[in-house]
Amino acid sequence: MDFTITDELADVRDEAVRWVAEHVDPEWADIQHRSGDYHTPELHQLLARDGWLGAGWPAEYGGRDRSPAQAAAIHQEIAALGIHEDGWSTTDMVCKTLLHVGTEEQKQRYISKALAGETVIVLGYTEPDSGSDVAAAKCRAERDGEDWVIHGQKMFTSTAHMATHVFLLTRTDFEAPKHAGLTLFMVPLDAPGVEIQPTHTVGGQRTNTTFYSEVRVPDDARIGEPGHGWDVMGVALVYERGGGGAGRTGPSLTDRVAGWCRGQITPEGTSLFDDPTVQQRLARIAIESEVARLLGLRVGWVAGQGGMPGVEGSMAKLYGSEAKQRHYSAMQDILGAEAVLTHGSPGAPLAGEVDTAFRYAIVGTIYGGTSEIQREIVAQRRLGLPRSRPKS
Amino acid sequence: MDLSFTAEQEALREAFASLFAHTAGTDVVRAAEPLGFDEKVWDQLVRTGAPAMAVPEGLGGGGAGFVDLIVVAQELGKRLAPAPLVEAVVATNLIAEAAPGGPLLQGLVDQDRVATLALQPVASGTARLVPAGAVAEVLIALDGDELVAFERPAGARPHVPSPPNLGASPIADWSLDGPDLQRTVLAGGAEARRLHHRARAEWQLLMAAALDGLRSAALDIGVEYVKSRWAFGVPIGWFQAIQHRLADVATAGEGAQLLLYEAAWARDTGGADADRLAAMAFLYQSELAQLTTRESLQFHGGYGYTLEYDIQLYFRRAKAWPLALGDPARLACELARDLFAPES
Ligand SMILES: Cc1cc2nc3c(=O)[nH]c(=O)nc-3n(C[C@H](O)[C@H](O)[C@H](O)COP(=O)(O)OP(=O)(O)OC[C@H]3O[C@@H](n4cnc5c(N)ncnc54)[C@H](O)[C@@H]3O)c2cc1C
């Protein structure tokens, strides 16, 4: 038993901090916050130019001779500034999938351009009528000579308005059983017939609804065999479920709320921190945050032992995302009436950070597999309870 | 991070799992009610040296660490074994530190005497509802400014009557000015308070482990039940209302177990946050043991309410055991003040 957390990136952290200090404008966090665009093209270009996107990739597909650890540390520093890299995370995931299932020609074509920052790839799985039940996709792709013609609609195609390609889940066989009629395509977002409309969220993030009207793509844009889309998605999913790493630590939002409470004097003349109801809530948040951290670390440990941390990943995601919602809600209560003041609003406690976190936490229990889907996984795979879905 | 146990710890778990399986089935647990003490189970534990297992080897103990101790406490909790091992270990450790060379320790290491700890400071000459107080020969209590060992006269196990109680635990009041009690001061002033605080943290840690065992066994009982009970043409475990609630307690339960392991590891490695982690593990395990036994009982329907089914044994103890420390909210406040102390 050992809970020592070794920072595997310790050696490269200083260098990462230096690169970020030199190239990253902290303003970008604010710009992302205001615009809802969780992708900063300027930053993406810089990372590509200096080889950080290509770190760890095979040279024949545009990989660069850069340390992957160093790249990871840089991404962590960027995240710590509150800057999202959603465009890179989906691109990275799709490229890793291509490495497994793409043809040699596709790997050459798509991966090298992505690593050079020339392409950004987003995910087009969800549809108006199918989200959790992703295999129920109805977006149609029909063979027409050497080409495929795509027709349908996708929901929540995040970052599509700043991207070049969408990794699109389509149905190529309407007769086959649900999971056997799916096929994936790499569709250029500037192809005739593609339309992108914004969808705005409570957390401020902009996502998109995308429409595909008789969009024509050549057969070499097809990823994997026709009808094997479900297996291709399975490869991609492996890369979506990462565990929590050691990461970078600083004072948590809970620490800052506690500090804020100390400075508040109640009408009775005592510090708000001395209020036992505040103390109880802070204690609960601290305990549950530690539990969430440990469940996240366990995912990495199981993977490091050569295991497949499927259920552990579900548990960490379920617990962590649900706990965050409870915690930010409790912090809002503690901050009181002023808690409703948003980021940038005069007098907002802690510059509105709790409100921002509260809003953003909503989506944690929805995307990446909703809490209900995670509970299903835990109930069936950990507890051995029967599969409760209707047959389809 | 390494979440594995050593081969010795695995062997220890197996040995105690089998000891409790043979000596403390639910028939034994029921038969031991209402006192909550079974002389045979205790006798077996004494033979393995469990009460003194964390006392240094040089003093005749087993030299074990806290990760070892929690393994044993988990197994005890799974079976609800009617033996005050948690209290005995904590009191024995305390005596080994405060009075290492004395006859008091010898009596605990070599014989089958039961020692316990008053978790709260003494008020008006009485230690109220001391855990294991009904069967203990030795009580350590913080009496004013002094840490004192009170000994009952040698002889047969006391079996002081225990007031009827929710957990069927051998709790009892100790009137400390009784003429037949031998009083030995172990420490005074700040040292007395430090030792008592530490012992209280050790109790929290070992109780968290016992509750973890209780919790995981109650979950297993619930899961087995919902797989075999049918309603509306399906096993009730088919219903999502049941699946999801069990998934939630299973998930939080595994997290609580990790927190327990971290707290034990911190204690063994002298971590500065060992006391805090013990309090966190205790508070969270208390809450989850109660929630898990409640869910399990609920999914037994009417049978859960009958004395016949085992789940009620777990449900009652999940509430009763941690209450020995008093209102958990007070401990939570103490924890928050400690965790969020301003930087000095
Ligand atoms: C900000 C944001 C960004 C996103 N980005 C992308 C993206 O880039 N690409 C993409 O393809 N998708 C994206 N998504 C979509 C996301 O993956 C889906 O929202 C998610 O999978 C849930 O699908 P749904 O919204 O259709 O909800 P539904 O599947 O309709 O679920 C509605 C409710 O029913 C519950 N439910 C569903 N099935 C079950 C079941 N079997 N048992 C019990 N309850 C069930 C759900 O848990 C949920 O509470 C994004 C979503 C958001 C909000």
CB atoms near residue A41 (< 10 Å):
12
CB atoms near residue A307 (< 10 Å):
11
- Report which ligand 1 atom has the smallest distance to the Cα of A159: 8
Q: Residue A12's pLDDT band (boundaries 50, 70, 90)?
A: very high
Instruction: Please write the tens of the pLDDT for every residue from A320-341.
Output: 999 999 999 999 999 999 999 9
- Would you say B197 and B275 are in contact if contact means Cβ atoms under 8 Å apart? yes
- CA angle, B271 then B276 then B280, to 5°: 125
The mean pLDDT value for B200-214 works out to 98
CA atoms within 13 A on the CB side of A305: 12
Nearest CA-CA partner of A356 in A342, A336, A371, A335 = A342
- Would you say B73 and B53 are in contact if contact means Cβ atoms under 8 Å apart? no
Q: Residue A236's pLDDT band (boundaries 50, 70, 90)?
A: confident
**Greatest CA separation found in chain A?**
81
- Would you say B202 and B196 are in contact if contact means Cβ atoms under 8 Å apart? no
Put residue A347 in one of left, alpha, beta given phi > 0 → left and psi -120 to 50 → alpha: left
Chain centroid to CA B300: 26
> Which single residue is written with the structure tokens 């994936």?
A184
The mean pLDDT value for A342-371 works out to 95
- Would you say B204 and B281 are in contact if contact means Cβ atoms under 8 Å apart? yes
> Which single residue is written with the structure tokens 């990739």?
A57
pLDDT at residue A249 in the model: 64
Measured between beta carbons, the chain A residues lying within 8 angstroms of B284 are: 287-288, 291
Share of chain B above pLDDT 70, in %: 100
Contact B262 A294 (CB under 8 A): yes
Ligand 1 centre to CA of A365 (Å) is 9
Contact A376 B250 (CB under 8 A): no
pLDDT at residue B167 in the model: 98
ipTM of the complex: 0.97
A positions 221-260 inside 8 Å of B (CB): 254-255, 258-259
Give the span between the Cα atoms of B44 and B65, in whole angstroms: 21
- Structural tokens at position A195: 């339309």
Residues near B341 by beta carbon (within 8 Å), at least 6 away in sequence: none
pLDDT at residue A243 in the model: 46
Share of chain A above pLDDT 90, in %: 91
pLDDT at residue A174 in the model: 97
- Structural tokens at position A115: 């690593």
In sign, the C-alpha dihedral spanning B294, B298, B299, B301 is: positive
Q: Residue B178's pLDDT band (boundaries 50, 70, 90)?
A: confident
A positions 296-325 inside 8 Å of B (CB): 297-298, 300-301, 315, 318-319
Give the span between the Cα atoms of A143 and A160, in whole angstroms: 25
CB atoms near residue B172 (< 10 Å):
25
pLDDT at residue A62 in the model: 95
Contact A286 B335 (CB under 8 A): yes
CB atoms near residue B118 (< 10 Å):
28
Instruction: Please write the tens of the pLDDT for every residue from A253-306.
Output: 999 999 999 999 999 999 999 999 999 999 999 999 999 999 999 999 999 999
- Structural tokens at position B243: 């699946």
Mean pLDDT, rounded, of chain A: 95
pLDDT at residue B168 in the model: 97
Residues near A366 by beta carbon (within 8 Å), at least 6 away in sequence: none
- Would you say B215 and B252 are in contact if contact means Cβ atoms under 8 Å apart? no
Distance in Å, alpha carbon of B244 to nearest chain A alpha carbon: 5
Q: Which domains occur in chain B, in start order?
A: 193-340 (1.20.140.10)
DSSP strand pairing (A121-124 vs A165-171): parallel
pLDDT at residue B107 in the model: 86
Interface test with B, best of A252, A256, A287 (most B CBs within 10 A): A287
pLDDT at residue A244 in the model: 46
Ligand 1 centre to CA of A131 (Å) is 4
> Which single residue is written with the structure tokens 């040995």?
B15
Q: Cα(first)–Cα(last) distance of chain A, in Å?
A: 45
Measured between beta carbons, the chain B residues lying within 8 angstroms of A291 are: 252, 255-256, 258-259, 284
Ligand 1 centre to CA of A29 (Å) is 27
Contact A318 B251 (CB under 8 A): yes
The mean pLDDT value for B26-32 works out to 97
Q: What is the DSSP string of B218-264?
A: HHHHHHHHHHH-EETTEEGGGSHHHHHHHHHHHHHHHHHHHHHHHHH
Q: Residue A389's pLDDT band (boundaries 50, 70, 90)?
A: confident
Measured between beta carbons, the chain A residues lying within 8 angstroms of B280 are: 286-287, 290
Name which residue sits closest to atom 13 of ligand 1, judged by CA: A156
Q: Residue B286's pLDDT band (boundaries 50, 70, 90)?
A: very high
- Report which ligand 1 atom has the smallest distance to the Cα of A370: 47
